[in-house]
Amino acid sequence: MAEATGKPFWFQLYLMKDRKVNINLIRRAHEAGCSALVLTIDLHVQGKRWADEKDGLAVPPKLTPKNVLDMLVHPRWLASMAGSRRHNFGNLEHEIEAGGSVDSLSRWIAEQFDPAFDADTVRWVRAQWKRKLILKGVMHPDDARSALDLGADAIIVSNHGGRQLDSAPSSISVLPTIADAVGGRTEVLFDGGIRTGGDIVKAIGLGAHACLSGRACLYGLAAKGCEGVLCALDLFEQELQDCMMLAGLASVSHIPPGVVTAQPPLGRQR
């Protein structure tokens, strides 16, 4: 990644039980010039994702009658995939003996998530990483305040795409109270359900400093490769501009909460 971009980039770390692997990943990220480390704090246990199991989209993927039929009716995509290089977890491929096989590596990863993840774990990562540290997966004001105490430079309000815990609240519903809890002492980033430029306006109006979106860009990538990703980003920009103008807003730095909700959330004064 470092060779492909001249812009600042981040590395998202999923901690494993094997501390040696964690140390190597952190070191490699530092040597590659990553400006920030994003520590995932909501995947210490793999959530049950029954829809993925049903559709054969677990890791590694499995062939089912449904997805086989889907591939057969898209021959051009199938041909391009057949001629593509072998895919694997590149970050881990050379770290462990099981890295050469997707099946064995997937089993190793499933066994390596550490349910003992706690505040001391974050302190350990903070001690290893001397640049910006961002905690991803904050869903409660108390955790936001704890993140500051643990030395986080920013937090990401995220429920992991709603895939980890059924009945967990949406990220957008807890965003205002978390933004109030930190009171401007750190940057609050938002992740979850960002599909349009209007979604960006909503999130910033409720306290976020910036938004992250994965699926929209992945949809573009799946459809048209690099061109599709650029198209998704262009749509974000166009929709953001349209929403701002139609809402009578001149700057994303000044979006009153009343634009997003009928009444400002308790304590939000922007």
Residues designated catalytic: 160
Token pair for 14 = 């999923």
The secondary structure element, H or E, covering residue 211 is strand 210-212
Count helices and strands in the chain by DSSP H and E runs: 11, 6
Q: Is 254 exposed, middle or buried (0-12, 13-18, 19+ CB in 10 A)?
A: exposed
Classify 249 as helix, strand or coil.
Answer: coil
* Maximum pairwise Cα distance, the chain: 58
Residue 138 dihedral angles phi and psi, to the nearest 5°: -80, 130
Instruction: Tell me the C-alpha distance between 199 and 133, whole Å.
Output: 26
Instruction: Tell me the C-alpha distance between 187 and 206, whole Å.
Output: 13
Instruction: Tell me the C-alpha distance between 203 and 208, whole Å.
Output: 6
Classify 113 as helix, strand or coil.
Answer: strand
The single-letter DSSP state of residue 48 is P
Task: Please report, for residues 77, 91, 105, 147, the alpha-carbon distance to residue 2 in angstroms, rounded to integers and kept in the order given.
Answer: 29, 13, 24, 28
- The set of residues, in sequence order, having a beta carbon less than 8 Å from that of 197 and lying 6+ positions away, is 235, 236, 237, 238, 239, 240, 241, 242, 243
In terms of Cα–Cα distance, which of 179, 173, 174, 125 is closest to 154? 179
